[in-house]
Chains A and B, each alone.
Chain A
Amino acid sequence: MPAMNMIQALNSALDVMLARDPKVLIFGQDVGYFGGVFRVTDGLQSKYGRTRCFDAPISENGLVGTAIGMGAYGLRPVVEIQFADYIYPAYDQLVSEAAKLRYRSAGQFSAPLTVRTPYGGGIFGGQTHSQSPESLFTHIAGLKTVIPSNPHDAKGLLIAAIEDDDPVLFLEPKRLYNGPFEGWRDRPSSPWAGHPMAETPMGHYSVPLGEAAVVQGGAAVTVLAYGTMVHVALAAAHHAGIDAEVIDLRTLVPLDLETITLSVKKTGRCVIVHEAPLTSGYGAELAALVQEHCFYHLEAPIRRVAGWDTPYPHALEWDYFPGPERIAEALRAVVEGEGV
């Protein structure tokens, strides 16, 4: 099985789906001849032709709006929004249209589109290239939200998203495109090669939506994370020397609540990590669910480690980023009772 980085794995998923299903087509800014600013669609236009993979105007509402029409026609469009920070012009089309179409038409029409978009920081992208808008979408009835954390899952989840009959927002942690990132700003970053989850089958497979992965077993505390923060959480647990069970949610909607509650009932403690700002972030939903389902097993208050409630800064990126030190501190507090 070849080792792939996340870009290659995503490219392979699109390649497999374009070959398997004539109804799949890809469009977005710079995705055609050029192959995308992050190279995810590299080579697909020359392999499958211009009507299967083509450039689109800089118009996110137009992109998603036309994709909904294509989906209603019977195609399976895959749209790329160049950065998640640019998705807001398409918010109405996603929230009022794609998400509601099946419901409001009582199943007459649906919008089986996949919206791929790179999200998250740690790349010195500043406010407009670093945001994590997932909770704006998990709140919306009718949308699925998927966030992979490694090449193997990225490919399998993207195939599952494209094959899914409902609209899926597929957020790609761009800090992980070329290697797992542990969140230490001063240490050299490592490539995916050699990482077990870089082993990616060439052909078709899927990772089902709605199944979390326990990426590290542990007894002292459960850490809930997704995307880039899975790797940062692992590094933090190692740094703190705490026997943490780290769960990669992989899909936020649908959520694998069973894996979460099994783990928290076992460890009795829970730390939730995300890069998006704290207030009304997805961590709030997770904390509420853990409280509702595991209250009598909890031995310490649930802690959230998240981005501050500020815009994503440029110069002070590492002051914003919830790095391993901050997570380690929360882990210690929850396990040892400090600061509780």
Chain B
Amino acid sequence: MAAPLSLHIPEPARRPGAAPDFSGLRLSAAGEVGRSDPQTAASDLRDLAFGLIRVLDDDGQAQGPWRPELGASALKAGLAAMVLTRAFDERMFRAQRQGKTSFYMKCTGEEAIACAAALALDPADMHFPTYRQQGLLIARGYSLVDMMNQIYSNAADPLLGRQLPIMYSAREAGFFSISGNLGTQMPQAVGWAMASACSGDTRIACGWIGDGATAEGDFHAALTFASVYRAPVILNIVNNQWAISSFTGVAGGETTPFAAKGLGYGIPALRVDGNDFLAVTAATQWAAERARANLGPTLIEFVTYRAAPHSTSDDPARYRPADEAALWPLGDPILRLKAHLFRSGLLTEQDFADLEAEALEQVRAAGRQAEAVGVLGKSRPSARTLFEDVFKAPDARLVRQRREHGV
């Protein structure tokens, strides 16, 4: 008689009330993982998908072969973008709590990933983001007022109040329209990159997805197409440990790192400390070099922690230990880059205080401007716009309906 089978249902190490446990997290020391030439085939890069590429050590020193060459101004720009992103998040989270908008999503603890990726790529490269890459827009200098107008769905919203707050679209900033349907942007990023390649362009694309959504078919379709056509695309997985209340094991992260999924497709894959601004920069530069040299796609898993709730509608205390974020072994990305700049003599405490004050003032000023137009429900786009942009030109039916609605 065969023994009866049993079904494995993944469950995280700790739930509320228990002490956090990150013993299952595979870590490498800063500088430990070797750097391979970007020409190397995926089959020879196994270690990069299973180790953890890190540059900044616990003392803020840059270690090892992945140290990027960044000057003082680039480092300060990165820190400023992260600080501004956090200040923006704090203000807009509060704005939602004050009833000024319906919804908001913070990226607290993940700022290094979007900010470093934005600064490591060319402004003309195209990002296909998820809803937690506001750092891309902020690092690229996009208008905070326009972001707020979008969040308030007011009369000055560039998207005419059509999208849920934070589902930005900013073509001029190389930021594709965000979809709430998870994973759909990944094959789109690959298609954009394919189009760039077959047009003889030099621009590359960058697709973004969370750890949970890698279970979507679109993620795997994207890897297949990227591999088949060697598309000049960087495919980023932001592994922030939590897909609302589901831990990474529910998406298949229990037995193998997400980065390792790339190897099965023949795509070079890097597993990177996502809270390390320098490591994110280096990995992105490495992938961009491959893409620009017609060597094809790279899959990057950025290991980070979603210190914030999933959204303003979420209460993480109901499904994870309350102090998990504080005990996250990869620390806080802003504090880590700040420590590095201190240590390098490029920043003083006063400089950092000034930076924070400046970010706060920028956000406040933008807030005053956006709120002068109006918060959600106090100001809205013209009702006539409801019927516009369904098609390039409205068909007879839409014209009839617009008249029926009296606008």
Stretch at the interface among B9-17, B221-229, B255-263, B334-342: B221-229
Task: Say yes or no for A34: interface residue by CB 8 A criterion.
Answer: no
Residues 91-121 of A at the B interface (beta carbon under 8 Å): 92-93, 96-97, 101-110
Give the residue of A61, A73, A101, A210 whose beta carbon is less than 8 angstroms from that of B177: A101
B188 at the interface (CB under 8 A from A): yes
Evaluate whether A61 and B397 lie within 8 angstroms (CB atoms) in the complex, with A25-B198, A105-B177, A106-B160 already known.
no
Q: Is A287 an interface residue (CB 8 A)?
A: no
CB-CB nearest in chain B for A101: B177
Contact B228 A96 (CB under 8 A): no
**How close is A36's CB to chain B, nearest CB, in angstroms?**
19
Chain A residues with Cβ below 8 Å from B126 are: 73
Q: Given that A107-B389, A110-B392, A166-B392 are known contacts, is A69 also in contact with B195, CB under 8 Å in the complex?
A: yes
Q: Is B169 an interface residue (CB 8 A)?
A: yes
CB pair A104–B167 under 8 Å, yes or no, is yes
Interface size class, chain B:
35 or more
Tell me the nearest residue of chain B to A99, going by C-beta: B390
In the complex, which residue of chain B has the Cβ closest to the Cβ of A64? B187
Could you tell me the distance between the alpha carbons of A97 and B128 in the complex, rounded to whole angstroms? 13
Q: Are B390 and A106 in contact (CB under 8 A)?
A: no
In contact, B158 and A69 (Cβ under 8 angstroms):
no
Please state if A68 and B188 are interface contacts (CB–CB under 8 Å). yes
B384 CB-CB contact with A under 8 Å: no
Establish whether residues B218 and A65, one from each chain, have CB atoms under 8 Å apart when the complex forms. Answer: yes
Tell me if B234 is interfacial: C-beta within 8 Å of chain A. Answer: no
Instruction: Kindly provide the distance from the CB of B222 to the nearest chain A CB, expressed in whole angstroms.
Output: 7
A70 and B191 contact, CB distance less than 8 A: yes
* Residue from A66, A101, A110 within 8 A of B190 (CB atoms): A66
A254 contacts B by Cβ under 8 Å: yes
B187 and A166 contacting across the interface, CB-CB below 8 Å? no
Q: Which of B181, B191, B196, B228 is the one whose CB lies under 8 Å from A67?
A: B191
- Using a CB-CB cutoff of 8 Å, which residues 133-188 of chain B contact chain A? 158-160, 162-163, 167, 169-171, 176-177, 179, 181, 184, 186-188
Cβ A66 vs Cβ B169 within 8 A: no
* Interchain CB contact under 8 A, B391 and A142: yes
With a cutoff of 8 Å between Cβ atoms, the chain B residues found around residue A68 in the complex are 187-188, 191
Given contacts A65-B222, A66-B190, A254-B397, contact A57 B228 (CB under 8 A): yes
Contacts A105-B171, A106-B159, A107-B389 given; indicate if A254 touches B396 (C-beta within 8 A). yes
Chain A residue with Cβ nearest B158: A106
Q: Is B50 an interface residue (CB 8 A)?
A: no
Given A65-B184, A70-B194, A255-B397, A59 contacting B169 (CB threshold 8 A): no
Given A62-B221, A62-B222, A97-B181: A141 in contact with B169 (beta carbons within 8 A): no
Q: Is the CB of B195 within 8 A of A70?
A: yes
| Interface pair A61/B391, CB less than 8 Å apart | no
Query: Which B residues, 175 to 219, have Cβ-Cβ distances below 8 Å to chain A?
Result: 176-177, 179, 181, 184, 186-196, 198-199, 205, 217-218
Beta-carbon nearest neighbor of B395 in chain A: A254
Q: Are A106 and B224 in contact (CB under 8 A)?
A: no
Task: A64 to B169: give the CA distance in the assembly, Å.
Answer: 20
Distance from A286 Cβ to chain B, minimum over Cβ atoms (Å):
13
In the complex, how many angstroms separate the beta carbon of B98 from the nearest chain A beta carbon?
A: 26
CB-based contact B395/A253 at 8 Å:
yes
User: Chain B residues near A254 (CB, 8 Å)?
Assistant: 395-397
Q: Which A residue's beta carbon lies closest to that of B167?
A: A104
Q: Which of A62, A64, A103 contacts B389 (CB 8 A)?
A: A103
Contacting pair B221 A73 (CB below 8 A): no
Whether the Cβ atoms of A92 and B189 lie closer than 8 Å is: no
Distance in angstroms from A74 CB to nearest chain B CB is 7
Q: In the bound complex, how far is the Cα of B181 from the Cα of A68, in angstroms?
A: 15
**A75-B171 contact given A62-B225, A69-B190, A109-B176, CB 8 Å threshold:** no
Residue contact B221 to A61, C-beta cutoff 8 Å: yes
> A303 an interface residue at 8 Å Cβ cutoff?
no
In the complex, chain B residues whose CB is within 8 Å of the CB of A142 = 390-391
A92 to B218, CA, bound (A): 10
Contact partner of A106 (CB less than 8 A), chosen from B169, B196, B198, B221, is B169
- Flag if B184 contacts A96 (CB, 8 Å): yes
Any B CB within 8 A of the CB of A51: yes
Select A57's contact among B171, B224, B389, B392, beta carbons within 8 Å.
B224
A72 close to chain B: CB less than 8 A: yes
> Nearest CB to that of A60 among chain B residues?
B221
Query: Which A-chain residue is minimally distant from B171 (CB atoms)?
Result: A108
Task: Report yes or no: B190 in contact with A109, Cβ–Cβ below 8 A.
Answer: no
Q: Does A319 contact B (CB under 8 A)?
A: no
Residues of A within 8 A of B390 (CB): 102-103, 141-142
Judged by a CB distance under 8 angstroms, whether A174 is at the interface is no
How many angstroms between the C-alpha atoms of A142 and B198 in the bound complex? 28
A75 & B195 in contact (Cβ 8 Å cutoff): yes
List B contacts of A92 (CB < 8 A).
Answer: 181, 184, 218
Closest to B192 in A: A69
List the 5 shortest-distance A-B pairs measured between CB atoms, nearest first: A69-B191, A65-B187, A66-B191, A62-B221, A73-B195
**Other than the known A77-B191, A97-B188, A108-B170, what 4 A-B pairs have Cβ atoms closer than 8 Å?**
A62-B221, A68-B188, A68-B191, A73-B195
29 contacts between A and B (CB under 8 A): A59-B221, A59-B225, A61-B217, A62-B218, A62-B221, A62-B224, A65-B188, A66-B191, A68-B188, A69-B190, A69-B193, A69-B205, A71-B191, A73-B199, A75-B198, A96-B179, A96-B184, A97-B181, A97-B188, A102-B391, A103-B162, A106-B160, A106-B169, A107-B389, A108-B170, A109-B169, A141-B390, A144-B391, A253-B395
